[in-house]
Amino acid sequence: MRHASSQGFTLIELLVTVSLAAVLMMVAVPSYTAFVRNSQLTSFTNTLLASINAARSEAMKRGMHAMVVPVDGTNWSSGWVVFVDVDRSNDFNAANDIRIATSDAAPSYLTLSGTGAAAETNPYILYDASGYSRTKTGAFGALTLEVKRNDDSSVSQVRRLKIASSGRARICTPRTSSDSTCD
């Protein structure tokens, strides 16, 4: 005589498995959220850095001034346009200047702010034909653009894009909110 083998799970086995899965999810979800937020911030900042480096290389390649300015002329969060300033007006003129790149507006969870020329009423980043960062008056123009999440106030969710007077741009993460050098 043959006995039928039982198949399936007991209620206790199912409850233990569901409990273990719930504990693992409680540990994994916050880590994943932090990973996603950090990735979004890093990706956006790298896009901005690529645009700035494109402006510098075009300035040196063409032997002319190149600029990065907000699309709306006043707010970095509106996106930006990279162009070679052919007419030397220090403003983007689609009829005369050479557009290199345009970026879409920043996601609503990111805030951009600047120092130096990047913080003026009509902010800008300007490179001369030698690749140096300059102001519109001709002086050397070191500046900083700060990108931060407005839905997370931790300092780990801040990136600073620092441009030296030499034109070199780098990204750093401040250690504290008062860390202005990001060394």
Rounded to an integer, the average pLDDT of 83-88 is 95
Three-state SS at 112: strand
pTM of the model: 0.83
Residues 6+ positions from 9 with CB-CB distance below 8 Å:
17
Q: Residue 150: what are its φ and ψ, rounded to 5°?
A: -95, 0
User: For domain 13-172, which CATH number applies: 3.30.160.40, 3.55.40.10, 3.40.50.300, 3.40.50.1370?
Assistant: 3.55.40.10
For residue range 105-123, what is the model confidence (pLDDT) as tens digits? 999 999 999 999 999 999 9
> Given the structure tokens 């409990």, which residue do they identify?
19
Q: Residue 27: what are its φ and ψ, rounded to 5°?
A: -80, -40
Flag whether pLDDT at 7 surpasses 80: no
As a whole number of angstroms, the distance between CA 97 and CA 8 comes to 72
CA distances from 77 to 51, 74, 108, 147, 148 (A): 14, 9, 9, 9, 11
CA distances from 146 to 6, 57, 109, 142, 158 (A): 64, 22, 14, 14, 7
Say what the pLDDT of residue 98 is: 96
Domain boundaries, the chain: 13-172
Say what the pLDDT of residue 48 is: 97
Say what the pLDDT of residue 25 is: 81
Say what the pLDDT of residue 2 is: 57
